[in-house]
Chain A
Amino acid sequence: MKEFLKTNTVTYNLMSFTGFKSILIFSLLLEGPKSYSELQEILKNHEYLHETISSDTLRVYLNSLREIGCKITRKSKNGVTRYSIDSHPFVLNIDEKQIPSIIKVYKALTQSIEVSDLLALQQFFAKISQYIQDDELKEKLSKVSPLYNIDSKIITDLMACAQNNWEITVQYNSLSTGNKYKNITILADKLHISNRKLYLSGVNSEYDTYASFLVSNINNIVSINMHNRTLDVPKLTVSYEYSKDDNEKFELLSCEKIINEENNKLTIEITSNNKFDITQRILSHSTKCKVISPDDFKAHIISTLKQMKEGYIEKH
């Protein structure tokens, strides 16, 4: 052990000189491949060390690094052999017991945040998952986000389009019509998650109707018209009653508001450009829900329910 220079960070005069050289060599090899002579040069010119170290001594340091779990590779080019650290025991090591907890909290969080934050969160966990050894857990983690398997570039572009109400043409995998890919022009309105799937809602220019498109079916964005246009689609407002259970927390959508609450009976108003979305919402509430107005929408729900009923009677 040597007397050592005082530095701004060290308040004691004494330190482990061998320890210092060990960490220095470790850091140098982690930075990139170095030959013995390059290491010797650096150690010799180091402001604290100024020490000539033999190749034999360096070999002992490298052996010791291997001993503690560093994977050191050796490559020769033009007669010069260089060494570098490929892996070491101090990388992030996520305990398998932590992963189910991470998945659970991640799942809960995905239901409460905006698409942009969800995308960031997904990318963060994708980065972290490289440190998970178990492939099954790694896969589970990757599938938590509803944005799983969707090109993040497409999501980012669609976010900008929806924010500015730009008109875009997308190549859409229209399975329903049997056309493998079809160009659709949409005046983008919003990007949203429904039933754990990401949708782009907007006006379908071909039919001039408001619709939702599964983003996972968008192959690519063909063109963007950056002149923002005003969305001029008639909105539908539906009022319905909902009978709540004691202690039930009604999950209000962003397009809904409670206009009256009496005992456990809520009167809710839902507004959307998309009749289909409202229909699905009402039907999912089933027995707890009754549409109050408008009359034509009420008639639509009754006729849908009658059709469903007939579907069961006819077959059996």
Chain B
Amino acid sequence: MKNTKKLNEGCLKIFRLLQLLYEDKAEYNDVIEIFMDESYDQTPNNLQVNINKYFNTLKIFGIKVKKEKNKFKLLSGLYSMYFTMDDLKSISLIMSYLNYFPEIDMTQNIEKFLESIEIRMNNEDKKTISIMNTNPNYDFSFYYSDIREQIAHCEQICKENFFIVVLYKKNGKEHQCKCTAKEVLYNSKTAYLKVYEANSMQNLEIPIGSILAINSLPQKSTSMEMSTTVVYKLKNRLAKTYNLKENERTNGIDEKGELIVVNKNEDFDNLISRLMRYAGNCEIMSPKPIREKMQAVINETLANYESE
């Protein structure tokens, strides 16, 4: 038997309109399509009057809409979410941080997310946010300000996915590596270009400020990556208290009370700098070149005190 469920056209129309508005897809033409009635000849004037009536209805419920280019944009919605004062502070913090965040695509994505939050916010909360001041201890304005152009360039290179040759300065010397750009990473003060160097089978994090030149090669890179695995052991108290990182695994503490850790994908220099902190409680087991590198770092550091 045919399903004869009765539906209310007006109800469907107003909610379809709301759906378009919530999805930020309310182009004029799509809105018109909702209200076109094929059953009788509608004049453009009738159609416009009809659409206005539905928009007025939304207004009664406090739903605000504005016209922008060829689109209707929702400013406040059908219902509001509950936000605590801490939530509002967090939103305001993200907003002020975004003003200085250098990656455009990323910033746009988050702005879109914040917009969708804002249309679900009541007027009181909107007002609170607009007058909220960020903690005066935070000054995001200087972050990455001097390397904005280089960051944009690196972003572009990551998207293109070609092999590249990076010339950069480290410890006062120039280094060069043929690699694939993976992503731009940030810490509180600077930004890094994360690359995969197939030769040494490692991920490198190069401070963008230290990059002297990047040349793209004509070949596209493949997604094949064979990262070197570094194995190190932790001893004494550290073996019992160590928290594994995301990129690490272990089989637990062995009979000698030592923790063998298998580390993958970490920049070797960063790893060595981290393991140096553990002093005599840590020893790199393999691969041999990384173990030797660690030894060399210890010796070089000791050499700083040779004349003492």
Could you tell me the distance in whole angstroms from the C-beta of B251 to the nearest C-beta in chain A?
Answer: 17
Alpha-carbon distance between A248 and B206 when the two chains are bound, in angstroms: 11
Chain B residue nearest in CB terms to A30? B79
**Quick check: is B244 within 8 A (CB to CB) of the other chain?**
no
Given contacts A9-B60, A20-B57, A112-B140, contact A89 B19 (CB under 8 A): yes
**Quick check: is A114 within 8 A (CB to CB) of the other chain?**
yes
Tell me the residues in window 46-99 of chain A with beta carbons closer than 8 Å to chain B beta carbons.
59-61, 63-65, 67-69, 89-90, 92-95, 97-98
Chain B residue nearest in CB terms to A306? B302
Alpha-carbon distance between A193 and B273 when the two chains are bound, in angstroms: 18
- Which residues of chain A are within 8 angstroms of B300 by Cβ–Cβ distance? 286-287
**Quick check: is A259 within 8 A (CB to CB) of the other chain?**
no
**Quick check: is A154 within 8 A (CB to CB) of the other chain?**
no
**Quick check: is A113 within 8 A (CB to CB) of the other chain?**
yes
- Which residues of chain A are within 8 angstroms of B297 by Cβ–Cβ distance? 286-287
Contact in complex: B277, A280 (CB < 8 Å)? yes
**Quick check: is A236 within 8 A (CB to CB) of the other chain?**
no
Contact in complex: A245, B15 (CB < 8 Å)? no
- Which residues of chain A are within 8 angstroms of B16 by Cβ–Cβ distance? 68
Could you tell me the distance in whole angstroms from the C-beta of A42 to the nearest C-beta in chain B?
Answer: 15
- Which residues of chain B are within 8 angstroms of A222 by Cβ–Cβ distance? none
Of the listed stretches A116-124, A158-166, A201-209, A225-233, chain B binds A116-124
**Quick check: is A150 within 8 A (CB to CB) of the other chain?**
no
Could you tell me the distance in whole angstroms from the C-beta of A228 to the nearest C-beta in chain B?
Answer: 23
**Quick check: is A18 within 8 A (CB to CB) of the other chain?**
yes
- Which residues of chain B are within 8 angstroms of A143 by Cβ–Cβ distance? 246
Alpha-carbon distance between A251 and B87 when the two chains are bound, in angstroms: 29
Tell me the residues in window 12-29 of chain A with beta carbons closer than 8 Å to chain B beta carbons.
12, 14-23, 26-27
- Which residues of chain B are within 8 angstroms of A9 by Cβ–Cβ distance? 59-60, 62
Alpha-carbon distance between A119 and B6 when the two chains are bound, in angstroms: 51
Could you tell me the distance in whole angstroms from the C-beta of A186 to the nearest C-beta in chain B?
Answer: 17
Alpha-carbon distance between A22 and B59 when the two chains are bound, in angstroms: 14
Q: Is the interface of A mostly helix, strand, loop or mixed?
A: helix
- Which residues of chain A are within 8 angstroms of B97 by Cβ–Cβ distance? 105, 108-109, 112
Could you tell me the distance in whole angstroms from the C-beta of A184 to the nearest C-beta in chain B?
Answer: 14
**Quick check: is B61 within 8 A (CB to CB) of the other chain?**
yes
What does the 1/0 interface line of B267-278 toward A look like (CB < 8 Å)? 000001110110
- Which residues of chain A are within 8 angstroms of B57 by Cβ–Cβ distance? 15-16, 19-20, 23
Given contacts A108-B187, A197-B243, A311-B283, contact A63 B295 (CB under 8 A): no
Contact in complex: B189, A249 (CB < 8 Å)? yes
Contact in complex: A109, B94 (CB < 8 Å)? yes
Alpha-carbon distance between A102 and B12 when the two chains are bound, in angstroms: 34
Counting chain A CB atoms within 10 Å of each CB, which of B54, B89, B188 scores highest?
Answer: B188
| Inter-chain residue pair count (beta carbon < 8 A) | 271
Alpha-carbon distance between A63 and B5 when the two chains are bound, in angstroms: 7
Alpha-carbon distance between A20 and B246 when the two chains are bound, in angstroms: 53
Residues of B in contact, count (CB < 8 Å):
95
Contact in complex: B53, A16 (CB < 8 Å)? yes
- Which residues of chain B are within 8 angstroms of A197 by Cβ–Cβ distance? 243
Chain B residue nearest in CB terms to A307? B280
**Quick check: is A308 within 8 A (CB to CB) of the other chain?**
yes
Alpha-carbon distance between A23 and B8 when the two chains are bound, in angstroms: 13
Tell me the B residues contacting A by CB distance below 8 Å. Answer: 5-16, 18-19, 22, 49-50, 52-54, 56-62, 77-79, 81, 84, 86-87, 89-91, 93-94, 97-98, 101, 103, 105-107, 109-110, 112-113, 116-117, 120, 135, 137-138, 140, 143, 169-172, 186-190, 207, 209-210, 237, 240-241, 243, 246, 272-274, 276-277, 279-280, 283, 291, 294-295, 297-302, 304-305, 308
Tell me the A residues contacting B by CB distance below 8 Å. Answer: 1, 7, 9-10, 12, 14-23, 26-27, 30, 59-61, 63-65, 67-69, 89-90, 92-95, 97-98, 101-102, 104-105, 107-109, 111-114, 117, 119-121, 123-125, 127-128, 143, 175-176, 195, 197, 214, 216-217, 243, 245-249, 251, 264, 279-281, 283-291, 298, 301-302, 304-309, 311-312, 315
Give 9 A-B pairs besides A16-B14, A111-B188, A197-B243 with Cβ atoms closer than 8 angstroms: A15-B57, A18-B11, A90-B18, A101-B113, A113-B138, A120-B89, A175-B241, A246-B210, A247-B169
Closest 8 CB pairs of A and B: A18-B10, A247-B209, A120-B86, A101-B109, A19-B14, A22-B11, A64-B11, A124-B90
